[in-house]
Each structure stands twice: as C-alpha cells, then as structure tokens.
Amino acid sequence: MTQITVVMAQINPLVGDIEGNARLILAQSRRAVELHRADVVVFPELALTGYPPEDLLLRASIGLRVERALEGLRRELPDVWVLLGYPSRGAGGLENVAGLFKGGKLVAAYGKMELPNYEVFDEKRYFVAGVQPRVVEIGGFRFALSVCEDIWHERPTAMAVEAGAEILLNINASPYHLGKHRERLRIVERRALAGDVAILYVNQVGGQDELVFDGGSMAIGRDGGLAVLAPHFAEGLFPVRIGRDAAGRVLLEQGLQEPEPGDRALVYQALVTGVRDYVNKNRFKGVVLGLSGGIDSALTLALAVDALGAERVEAVMMPFRYTAGMSIEDAAAQAAGLGVRYRSISIEPMYEAFVSALSEEFAGCAVDVTEQNIQARCRGVLLMAISNKKGCLVLTTGNKSEMAVGYSTLYGDMAGGFDVLKDVPKTLVFALARYRNSITAVIPQRVIDRPPSAELAPDQKDEDSLPPYDILDQILERYVERDFSANAIIADGFDADTVRRVVRLVDLNEYKRRQAPIGVRVTRKAFGRDRRYPVTSGWEAGD
C-alpha cells in the first residue's frame, strides 16, 4: 500500500538572517530524515527571510542573498522533497513564493494568490499576487502548494482542487491573537470539507518585535477530522503519515494531537515567547524593571523570569513618600520568591533636586499632576541608567487600558524598550496573575486583591481618575478593537458621559502611544501596527 511521510517543520526563524535561517532549514531537513524517515519536509512561509521582513524586501541586495542561500540549499539538502517559503522576483514583480526542491533542483514554485492587507499585514506594499495553482505528484499523491492567506479564501483551494489536488500543503506565518487557533481550525476544516481535500497547515513559532507566532501546525483529513495537532509555542518536527483507504482515497493516519491549552495559558505563553525572543534575538544581556508592589509590575516580573530565568532579571523598587508599606513588603517578597536581583533606591533626593531646580519657574503655581510626573520621570532616569551601564533592556509595565486613555507618563513609566503588557487590558492582567498563581504562587495575593494605585499622591486610587476597569475595558474593547462609535457604545447600555470621556481620552492620547515602546500583540487589534490614527486630528467619534 502506498504511504508517504510528510514532516511539518515548526521553526523559529530570525528576520533578516538569511544565512542563519538557511542553516536552520538544512539542519531540520536532515533531522526530519533521520528521525522520521521523511519523504517531504515542509517549512513555513518566508522561512528563508523570516516574517515579516517589512522594508528589507525593498533593498536591492536581498534578492542576491536569497539566491545565494537557495543555491547552497540546493547543493546540501538531503535527497527528499523540501518545501519552503522565500521572496522571488518574476516578470510581474516580487512574489511570496512556496518553492519545492528535490535532488538539487527547484521542481515547482507557487506564488501566493491572496495578499493580506489588513490588521498587521501589508503584503500589497511588497508583493504581486500569483495567478495559477501548482500541483505536483509526489509518491503517487497529488499535492498543491498554498501560502497562508490563500486558505482563508475559497478561490485558491477551489482552483487547486480543479487542477487535481488531493492534498494541500499550506505554509504559514500566522501571528497569534486571542482565539486565533480556533479560527484557523474552523477555516481549514471548512476548506477540507468543501474541496474533499486533505490539508497540512504548517505555521512558524517565535516572537518578532510585537508579533508572536504560536505554531499549532495541523493536518486535517478530507472529512474535516483532525489527524495531527502540533504544540503551540514550541519548535519541533511533526510527522504526518499519508496513505489511501480501500477506495483509494487519501487517508491521514492519526498522529500526535497536543492537548489544546486554554485561552489564559495561550496568552501567557505568547507573552513569555515575545519577551524571550525580543531579548535574545536582540542580544540583550538581560532585563531590568521597576517593581512597584502593584499588579502590572508583579505580572511583568513573573513573565520575565519565566521567559529568561531569574539570573537575567533585575527588579528595582523606587519608593517615595506616597509608597505604601505593603507595596514595599510585597515587592521584596515577590523578588525574593523568584530569586531575582533586587534593590531599593529612594527617589526622594532626586525629586527634591528637581523641585528645587524648578522652584522659581513654579513660583505661585499650585501643586498638580506635574509633581506626580516628576516622580515617574525620576524612576525612568534610574532604570535607563541601569540599562545603559549593564547592557540590559528596560521592561515597562503599562497595560492596554492605561495606554488607551493615557494613564501614564511620557519619559517616566513609559521610558523603556519593551512593554510586555502593552496589549493586555487591565481585567486580563488580573486574570493572568491568577492563572500564573494557579501553577505556582509567584505573585503575592495581596497584590491581586488590593485596589490598583499609581501611588503618586496621598491615598490615590486608579478609579479616582478612571472608570472601574471592568467597565473601562468593555468600552475600550468596543471602541478600539471593534470600531464602535460613541453612540453605538452608549446604545449598548453604558453611561453616556463615561463613554464620551473615555473615547475623548483615547483620541487625545494618540501622541503618547506614538512614543511608547513596542510590546507583545495578543488581541485582534493592538495599538501600533493594527490601529494607525493621526495625532493631529479634528475627528469626533460620536457617530
């Protein structure tokens, strides 16, 4: 009976490191043959350049580097079929290509038909669309080549099936957001059933700036049934055995089916992956962060330790006269429990020096938020000095709710290189803290239970300035992620004055967000790549 083994190579490439990615592809191809006796090895979309290469694709030299790397791979790859993604310039322009290699030759090349130009994607800036399906016979099976977005549209799959395809090899660089794994599974099942075709969906893993890729490669049978599901956020080689049933139809053998993690676990893994790869791929020695005794910095510290290990993490408490005793106690306790380097540096002397230097300028002015911002900026100066001296990255600790409404200080708590929680709403921060503590208790329970406070004024609480977070986050989800108007949000039953105030704060604080560090994207619409609004604008969001 005819049988073939296709290995899905779930790898973590580095954008721009074409030579390094080629070495990774070569090594994993050899391992796939040694470990699984692979007949076909399938790598992700643009595996050779990494994804997304962005404007590196506009550099004249990238084509030469890609061709040199492909020439080396043609010489050195094992004598099996290898499918991988790379950019290739044809007569019509640059294409996002899936290239199939065997015996030192390029046997088939397919140009991606559907170019995404929404959310984080802008492929039409760089690529022209392919126009023809490509079907290749391997070991008695007819395989069609397919690239990422193609699977989300009916036309490419229908054209491949019409050209005789029995199995789709769909290579992907599909970034994570909450619920994305379920969306993928549904769409691949739908395409398989509609076309009576088996589909192997191969995705990459790893962090690339604000994007994280979660893997979750899968093999779906003609009947829409799941045959193989690779782990999320883990590199590896995952074999799919393909044969035929008694009627001669393609049949996928049941293989590994990794248990599906819950949403909280996946978000947490996404954040850990984003931190780990940003730090490691950019060759930072480690990270430093301000540990305030509040929940945002507590969760950030836990994530940093899980990503990098305690030995590469430093936490700094920077108390002031308004810092509560319990904040100091909880910060010290968490740092000790996690085993990170910890120090306490009072900002009182710095603050007094600033206020003294500004005394003439401020004469006759009442104390206001300016003095609160000076406190935050003192802390930013300390953390950046430690970063400069030690070659470590400053992790900021602001969450999406604060980022949305501007509840943060430019050049203060926003000063740093990477904001882990930038796309995590405050209510989700609490949920993730509880999730992490359900594994091992690394965040003091009092930090989770007490009302949030910036501690920049006596007896200050976040809700003195903002609506309760459970209300705020529902309004923000509608306005930011779902593009509701203020009137539509009010129609959902929210207080009109509260909605208008929140919407106005979001609009006013675009200037702050433009100056914020990047951070891990975990929702469908994050500030930055997804949501691009003008700073200078007369827009009113009423309708």
- Whether residue 127 contacts residue 112, with contact meaning beta carbons closer than 8 Å, is answered with yes
Closest alpha carbon to 451 in 428, 434, 469, 424: 469
**Separation in Å, CA 51 to CA 7, 13, 14, 106, 306:** 21, 8, 8, 22, 25
Neighbours of 492 (CB within 10 A): 11
The reply to whether 148 belongs to the active site is: yes
Of the residues 95, 102, 114, 148, which is catalytic? 148
The reply to whether 365 belongs to the active site is: no
The reply to whether 112 belongs to the active site is: yes
Q: Give the distance from CA 460 to its chain's centroid.
A: 33
Neighbours of 142 (CB within 10 A): 17
Cα–Cα distance for residue pair 503/42, rounded to 1 Å: 46
Neighbours of 246 (CB within 10 A): 7
For helices 325-338 and 295-308, the axis angle rounded to 10 degrees is 10
> What does the DSSP 8-state code read for residue 518?
P
Residues 6+ apart with CB under 8 A from 180: 174, 214
Cα–Cα distance for residue pair 394/378, rounded to 1 Å: 14
Cα–Cα distance for residue pair 370/354, rounded to 1 Å: 11
Of the residues 102, 112, 426, 525, which is catalytic? 112
Residues 6+ apart with CB under 8 A from 314: 286, 287, 288, 289, 340, 341, 342, 343, 386, 390, 392
Closest alpha carbon to 518 in 209, 161, 281: 209
Cα–Cα distance for residue pair 98/111, rounded to 1 Å: 7
> What does the DSSP 8-state code read for residue 450?
S
Active site residues: 45, 112, 148
